[in-house]
């Protein structure tokens, strides 16, 4: 694919302006190394160039990935944890629509992973309605809905379509300089994912170790989210959004973590790499109860239009 | 006056046209490299030029197999990608792997990694720009 040359862009600009104004092989195939600061560092010359021209981007785990991990952890589907589709009509402000687009998007991912075909279409309609109201019709168009209806029994196709729709919404908002709206959608989706995880753990009476691991994993998502918001929002917007998620962040930030060195093990025949090494997090049941309580409180405010 | 308007319009439109084109590039040229891996929805697509470096911070979960797929326009030279931990210690470089377009891996514990896209300096009389993209998938 060729990018437009500057001269072509200039021509387009002119017309726009005018119109407008796992490893089981034998050891011989393994390449093993321990990662430390002296290993495989870039040379000084490259380092200097990097400093001059580096651009940094952040992205957070998508609701689909989180839902998939929850299912793998042994979670079972529970309809009562989802945001009721009847709540849709309550959302009148643009802010509330954006936050709940994220919430319904996360619910949609969760439902599709658990093969709840009928509910999938209900929640997709909620996503479409909010996307239309926010002027993102392009990302969730009639064709997307038709393709979903045609593939409703095929989980792989549905998950691919939902992931792609989520990405289209995010890209559309960013391409159109609507970073604040994009941030609200991401925030709503992340809070809902964490709410589902903590509710499922609560339901297991805090016994499901797999779900506990996935909740702890969200500390990385919180850090990424913070960095992403810092890069894309104004100071006032950032301050407003951080007040919503600060209580969750404080709980994650208070965790004590011990890391062991990473070992990189590559199966050169299968061309697959395993990154080994342990991370120990000092945590007790009180933490999980607190994070459930705090997340439920924020999520409740989002779905009842109090934010 | 008209020239000034044109220059301003040009400046305003370059990032928009570029990012839209690069998103299409990621979708059309890089996403198919994921093969049987499900697109995670975490994509970096951006304009690059010789001498440019772009970093994206990504979280990868234990219990999933991941593929990082990479693509770049040929116009900007032989771009490649490097995987590093958060302290920038190198784990993998596609340059040392015959400029491979994929990196398949799994991780014992959930961790954050930096994916760095490097477009090396090349001599050229004209300014050259092109798209680079990273798309991640899991199974």
Which of B10, B75, B118 shows the shortest C-beta gap to A10?
A: B10
* Percent of chain A at pLDDT exceeding 90: 45
Q: How confident is the model at residue A266 (pLDDT cuts 50, 70, 90)?
A: very high
Q: Which residues pair with A281 in a beta bridge?
A: A257
Residue with the larger pLDDT of the pair B36 and B123: B36
Q: pLDDT per residue over B46-92, tens digit each?
A: 889 888 899 999 999 999 999 999 999 988 889 999 999 999 999 99
Angle at A110 between CA A291 and CA A161, to 5 degrees: 135
Cα separation of B122 and B59, whole Å?
32
* Percent of chain A at pLDDT exceeding 70: 83
Q: What is the pLDDT of residue A179?
A: 85
Residue of B nearest to A158 (CA): B38
Q: How confident is the model at residue A155 (pLDDT cuts 50, 70, 90)?
A: confident
Q: What is the pLDDT of residue A276?
A: 94
Interchain contact, A55 vs B90, CB within 8 Å: no
Cα separation of A168 and B114, whole Å?
23
Q: What does the mean pLDDT of chain B come to?
A: 85
In the numeric block, which tokens belong to residue A33? Answer: 């190394």
Q: pLDDT per residue over A44-66, tens digit each?
A: 455 555 545 667 777 777 888 88
C-alpha distance from A10 to closest chain B C-alpha (Å): 6
In the numeric block, which tokens belong to residue A303? Answer: 């779905």
Interchain contact, A17 vs B54, CB within 8 Å: no
Cβ contacts (< 8 Å) between A69 and chain B: which residues?
Answer: 61, 63-64
Q: What backbone phi and psi angles, to 5 degrees, belong to A102?
A: -65, -40
Q: How confident is the model at residue B15 (pLDDT cuts 50, 70, 90)?
A: very low
In the numeric block, which tokens belong to residue A226? Answer: 């913070």
A and B: number of Cβ contacts within 8 A: 193
Q: Determine which of B59, B99, B105 to mutate to test the interface with A (most A C-beta atoms within 10 Å).
A: B59
Q: pLDDT per residue over A133-154, tens digit each?
A: 999 877 777 888 888 888 878 8
Q: What does the mean pLDDT of chain A come to?
A: 82
Nearest Cα residue to A191 out of A274, A87, A296, A115: A296
Q: What is the pLDDT of residue B35?
A: 94
Q: How confident is the model at residue B18 (pLDDT cuts 50, 70, 90)?
A: low
For the ranges A15-19, A121-125, B65-69, the lowest mean pLDDT is seen at A15-19
The secondary structure of A127-151 as a DSSP string is HHHHHHHTT-TTTT-HHHHHHHHHT
Q: Determine which of A275, A278, A280, A281 to mutate to test the interface with B (most B C-beta atoms within 10 Å).
A: A275
State yes or no: pLDDT of B138 exceeds 50: yes
Q: pLDDT per residue over A182-221, tens digit each?
A: 889 989 999 999 999 999 999 999 999 999 999 999 999 9
Q: What is the pLDDT of residue B1?
A: 52
Contact A56, B55 (CB under 8 A): yes
CA distance between the termini of chain A: 44
Q: Give B100: exposed, middle or buried? Use CB within 10 Å, 0-12, 13-18, 19+.
A: middle
Interchain contact, A1 vs B25, CB within 8 Å: yes
Which of A1, A6, A72 shows the shortest C-beta gap to B131?
A: A1
Considering Cα of B89, then B95, then B101, then B106, what sign does the dihedral take?
negative
C-alpha distance from B38 to closest chain A C-alpha (Å): 7
Strand ranges of the sheet holding B90-93, from the earlier edge strand across to the other edge: A54-58, B53-60, B111-118, B80-84, B90-93
Interchain contact, A277 vs B108, CB within 8 Å: yes
Entry pTM: 0.82
Interchain contact, B112 vs A171, CB within 8 Å: no
DSSP A90: G
- The Cβ of residue B6 has, within 10 Å, a number of other Cβ atoms equal to 15
Residue of A nearest to B47 (CA): A3
The ipTM is: 0.83
């Amino acid at each position: 694919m060729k990018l437009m040359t500057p001269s072509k862009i200039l021509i387009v600009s002119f017309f726009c302006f005018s119109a407008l104004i796992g490893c089981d092989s034998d050891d011989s195939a393994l390449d093993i190394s321990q990662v430390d600061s002296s290993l495989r560092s870039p040379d000084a010359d490259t380092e200097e160039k990097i400093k001059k021209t580096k651009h940094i981007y952040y992205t957070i785990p998508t609701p689909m990935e989180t839902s998939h991990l929850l299912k793998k952890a042994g979670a079972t589907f529970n309809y009562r944890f989802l945001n009721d589709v009847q709540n849709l009509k309550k959302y009148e402000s643009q802010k509330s629509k954006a936050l709940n687009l994220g919430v319904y998007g996360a619910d949609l991912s969760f439902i599709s992973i658990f093969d709840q075909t009928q509910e999938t279409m209900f929640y997709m309609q909620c996503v479409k309605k909010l996307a239309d109201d926010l002027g993102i019709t392009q990302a969730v168009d009639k064709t997307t809905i038709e393709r979903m209806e045609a593939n409703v029994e095929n989980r792989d196709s549905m998950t691919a379509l939902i992931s792609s729709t989520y990405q289209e919404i995010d890209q559309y908002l960013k391409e159109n300089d609507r970073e604040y709206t994009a941030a609200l959608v991401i925030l709503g989706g992340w809070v809902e994912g964490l709410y589902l995880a903590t509710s499922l753990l609560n339901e297991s009476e805090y016994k499901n170790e797999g779900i506990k691991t996935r909740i702890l994993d969200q500390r990385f998502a919180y850090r990424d989210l913070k960095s992403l918001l810092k890069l894309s929002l104004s100071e006032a917007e950032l301050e407003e959004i951080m007040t919503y998620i600060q209580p969750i962040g404080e709980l994650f930030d208070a965790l004590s973590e011990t890391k062991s060195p990473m070992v990189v093990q590559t199966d050169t025949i299968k061309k697959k790499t395993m990154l080994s090494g342990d991370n120990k997090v000092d945590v007790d049941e009180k933490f999980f109860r607190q994070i459930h309580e705090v997340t439920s409180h924020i999520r409740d405010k989002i779905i009842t239009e109090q934010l | 006056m008209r020239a000034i308007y044109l220059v301003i319009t040009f400046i305003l439109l370059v990032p928009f046209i570029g990012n839209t084109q690069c998103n299409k590039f990621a979708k059309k040229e890089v996403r198919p490299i994921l093969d049987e891996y499900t697109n995670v929805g975490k994509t970096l697509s951006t304009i690059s030029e010789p001498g440019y470096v772009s970093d994206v911070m990504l979280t990868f979960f234990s219990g999933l197999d991941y593929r990082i797929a990479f693509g770049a326009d040929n116009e900007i030279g032989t771009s490649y990608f490097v995987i590093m931990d958060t302290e920038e210690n190198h784990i993998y470089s596609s340059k040392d792997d015959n400029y491979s377009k994929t990196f398949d891996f799994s991780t014992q514990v959930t961790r954050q990694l930096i994916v760095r896209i490097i477009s090396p300096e090349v001599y050229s009389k004209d300014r050259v720009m092109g798209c680079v993209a990273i798309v991640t998938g899991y199974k």
